[in-house]
Structure 1
């Protein structure tokens, strides 16, 4: 009890609460700008934390990460441009809401579910962190290979339209992932003498190009009399929250659980959690045909999963010092700098600091409600701005965001090239989302496969030799075969009806 009270004193003071509020506003601003990710927002705060006490410093990073993930939904709903990669999984769903005049209602649902998922993920962190982290440590290259394939499979099956076109888009992303140094031999591939490509194709400029630049080009290509933003936002922010939560409360729990589990897996993070949760939601839905047309079920589950994964990624970071995602990779350095060395000892020796950290997680998610509400209301004014003013501003932010990553003009060229390609592919009916997921997961897929093959001396059956690996492999193969089995079942049913007739 003394440790809990001491931890409360570290959190509930004017300095820490002011830092949390300022970090929430900063995260909301960064997340709403296409291309500026939660990782970038947290990294920008590192120099500032040198001048802070340990708890305010960690509070700033926790709050910024949580709020930025939600804020990425705002430009996705209003402009069909995801602010962060984790928002790309359901950007079409959110934008369909706004086309029906319900952007605020969509964002209100996402806001409340993000807070709920974040708190559930925090409870997972508090109560079952050691056991979940121990489970994640059992993952080897075999399991990560199947996990990457699972994410790639989800990208194909949740894409609207032709699955064949989704597969081809996915192959484009996987091809981009091969650029750079070979993960096994270290030799350069497809760099064409460009030094900046030795580290590979950065997915952030490509993501900005695929979604933001392509959207700017689509607006520009419209006739002058149709270039106005057509969103009619007549709903209230929390108008549909209660009925949606009452109807889809199981989806909230399932999304929060999925996000927490995926967040625990080192390197997975909220991006993969969003894709998997959206696919799971569509799979178990009683009305899967409504997905893509502005259906709240997908928003409920995926937005819950997003922030649950943010909290879940802290499990391996705190318990074993293994970063759960790129955000916690940055934060681990700050923890060491502040004397809070990650590892099992932090729970035995941290005392009040650990309890203070848990309280910070809960407060950071709760503060999203008022800050997010204000951001949603201000978003209406942004949408009401004439397109001829909005789109140049979006383009300027995109260029600055792409350049600021590595201070490289090559990233700007990649962004523009991806935008032009996405515009042409979109006119031909090819989805853009599988491209970015193939680029993000391609490196993990290749590295895991090569490591597993070296470890097993080229034996492919080794991918089924471990219980977890075999389970994941069976799940992936089942997903692949499911469409064929469904078609075969329908054909057999129709054939029996014809015979009986």
Structure 2
């Protein structure tokens, strides 16, 4: 109790409270700008933390990252342009709800369930840190290969078009992930003699190009749609309690998946959102509604990405192993402030750890009022004429791409992938599967090659290790599930094609 009271005193310090408020507003703004990810928002804060106390420094990292993950949903919902990679999984769903006049419900769901997921993830950090960290340490390259491969299966699950076209898009993404020297052999591949491609193709320019620039190109060649119903965003949370009661299983499942994926080093909120949205569609009673403006996927994925954000701190605090790119930055701040990660951190610096938990909870609570204010401001975009909005979007895309590495080549990549995304969408190939292939491609390859080197070329260890065997069974189950459903329908006489015949 004494340590907890000390933690309250640490968090109640004026500099910490001011840091939470200012970094929250900063995270909301940066996350809502296409191309400026939560990782970038966090990285840009590191120089500021030099001048802050240890608790205030951690408060800026935690608050900004939590807000950025949520606010990435705002441009995705209003303009079909995800602000962060974690929002890309359900951007089409949220945008479809906006076109149906349910923008408030979609944005409110992103806000409400992100806050719930963040609080549940924080509770997991408090209650299950040792157990989850021990589980994560049991994962080797064999398990990570199956986890990444399972993530790739999400491409067929989230696709609204033909599964064949989804797989083709995913394979194109895997091919693009091979570009550069970021491979186990360390040799240039598919660089076309360009030094700018030696570092590979970053996901951010791809994400901005295929979602944002392609949307601008479509706007240039299609007549402006009728204006959306004019509504004041005065009831953002209206209907959220109804969704909570209507979809308790997706909410619980999203939190659990987010916690488990978050604690695995290198996974993070992006994978949690993709996997949760795919699971929501797979286990839904009405999967045919997904992609048409159905909130069920938003409930599960929205809770999952913020839950993974908090649980990603488990291996970071206990062992100094980053759960994702954000906690990798946070580990550097911890060392800089003398809070060296390790089991002794929880015994010798207990008040500071309790303070960290409190900051997580405070950040997710104030996310609701600050998020409502941000949504109301962003809602003005709906009333602006398209001719005024689209040039601003192109400008933000160029600035966001350039900011990823202070490199003009990234702007060229954005334009190239914008054209590719436009062509793919016109022909029914899902661009989300392309992005997933690029994001997961390097993880699949590196863990596969590393595993073969460790096993001297044998594939048996992929199936001999208990956890690896379970993940392999789940992966093959995901592959064979559609075939099994089709065979069952034919055997029971429920196959639509057979019925028509």
Q: TM-score, normalised by structure 2?
A: 0.97
Query: CA 1:335–1:495 in structure 2 vs 1: closer, same or farther (change >3 Å)?
Result: closer
Deviations 1:175-200 (A, max 9, x none): 11000115222111111221121111
1:119 and 2:119 matched: yes
Alpha carbons of 1:142 and 1:351: their partners in 2 closer, same or farther (altered >3 Å)?
same
Please state whether the residue corresponding to 1:192 is helix, strand or coil.
coil
> Is residue 298 from structure 1 mapped to residue 297 from structure 2 by the alignment?
yes
How far does residue 250 in structure 1 lie from its aligned partner after superposition? 2.2
- In the alignment, structure 1 residue 56 sits paired with structure 2 residue 76: no
1:3-42 maps to which residues of 2 (within 5 A)?
3-42=3-42
Structure 1 segments of 4 or more deviating over 3 A? 227-235, 495-498
Alpha-carbon deviation of 1:461? 2.1
Contact 2:35 2:208 survives alignment (8 Å): yes
**1:14, distance to aligned residue in structure 2 (A):** 2.3
Distance 1:110 1:122 in 2: 18
Q: What is the DSSP-based 3-state SS (H/G/I as helix, E as strand, rest coil) of the residue aligned with 2:101?
A: coil
Three-state SS of the structure 1 residue aligned to 2:299 is helix
Alignment partners' CA distance in 1, 2:468 and 2:24: 39
- Greater Cα shift, 7-16 or 301-310: 7-16
Change in Cα spacing, 1:496 to 1:8, as seen in structure 2 (3 Å) is closer
Instruction: State the match for 1:397 in structure 2.
Output: 396
**Which residue of structure 2 lines up, in the alignment, with residue 282 of structure 1?**
281
TM superposition shift of 1:406: 1.1
Shift of 1:296: 1.4
Q: C-alpha displacement at 1:161, in angstroms? A: 1.1
CA distance in 2, matches of 1:451, 1:39: 27
**Would the aligned equivalents of 2:115 and 2:368 in 1 still touch at CA under 8 Å?**
yes
Cα deviation 1:365-408 (Å, max 9, x = unaligned): 11101100101111211221111111111110100110111111
Gaps of 5+ in 1: none
Aligned ranges 1:82-231 → 2 under 5 Å: 82-181=82-181, 183-223=183-223, 226=224, 230=228
Shift, 1:231, TM fit: 6.1
Q: Distance in 2 between matches of 1:126 and 1:278?
A: 26
Distance 2:188 2:403 in 1: 25
Q: Secondary structure at the match of 1:356?
A: helix
Distance 1:231 1:325 in 2: 40
Equivalent positions of 1:324-335 (< 5 A) are 324-335=323-334
The answer for the alignment partner of 1:308 in structure 2 is 307
1:245 counterpart = 2:244 = yes
CA offsets 1:12-59 (integer angstroms, 9 cap, x no match): 132211211111111110111011000000000000111100111100
Structure 2 counterparts to residues 361-400 of structure 1, below 5 A: 361-400=360-399
Q: CA deviation at 1:493?
A: 1.7
Deviation at 1:234, TM superposition (A): 6.3
Q: Secondary structure at the match of 1:188?
A: coil
The answer for the alignment partner of 1:419 in structure 2 is: 418
Pairwise CA distance, 1:227 = 6.0
Corresponding position: 1:471 with 2:470: yes
- Structure 2 residues not aligned, in runs of 5+: none
Residue in structure 2 matched with residue 338 of structure 1 by the alignment: 337
> 1:482: which partner in 2?
481
Q: What displacement does 1:297 show?
A: 1.1
Which stretch shifts more, 379-388 or 132-141?
379-388
Structure 1 CA distance for aligned equivalents of residues 191 and 481 of structure 2: 38
Alignment RMSD: 1.6
Distance, in Å, in 1 between the alignment partners of 2:220 and 2:367 is: 34
